[in-house]
Amino acid sequence: MKPYLIRLKPNQDIKQELIQFSIKYNIKVGSIVSAVGSVSKMSVRIADGKTVVQDEENREVVALSGTLVRHQIHAHIAAINTKMEVFGGHLMDGCLVHTTMEITLLDMSDTINASREYDENTGYDELFV
């Protein structure tokens, strides 16, 4: 296992940067261990699996967790505004860093073999270990 500490800068897309990082460092199986920072724009999918909701308010990220498998990411994000109201869901393209984002990743490629494969029951590419 190998840990990584990443710092994203303003206007970088969190999801796309994590995917590009996993490609650059050949992370076949990884986990988002922790994340702190802020966003200026969020784009998340809600639990119905279809609806994407966007928000363009500066927010502090209070949670970001997920898995990277074969350069695909499944992650959830939650952030609060100045009134302490939470906004979050399934991380989509379009979640942009406001000031900074510090993410700790754990590369587990040497200990776990996993893939994402289409599951007809859910209609999504799901984790297979």
21 φ, ψ (degrees, to nearest 5): -65, -45
Alpha carbon distances (Å) from 21 to 7, 45, 57, 71, 110: 11, 23, 26, 9, 17
Average pLDDT of 103-123? 93
Query: In degrees rounded to 5, what are phi and psi of residue 71?
Result: 65, 25
Task: Write down the residue that tokens 């609806």 correspond to.
Answer: 51
pTM to 2 decimals?
0.92
Q: pLDDT-derived band of residue 58, with 50, 70 and 90 as boundaries?
A: very high
Q: From CA 125, how far away is CA 115, in angstroms rounded?
A: 9
**How does pLDDT run across 72-107, given as a tens digit for each residue?**
999 999 999 999 999 999 999 999 999 999 999 999
Res. 41 pLDDT band, cuts 50 70 90: very high
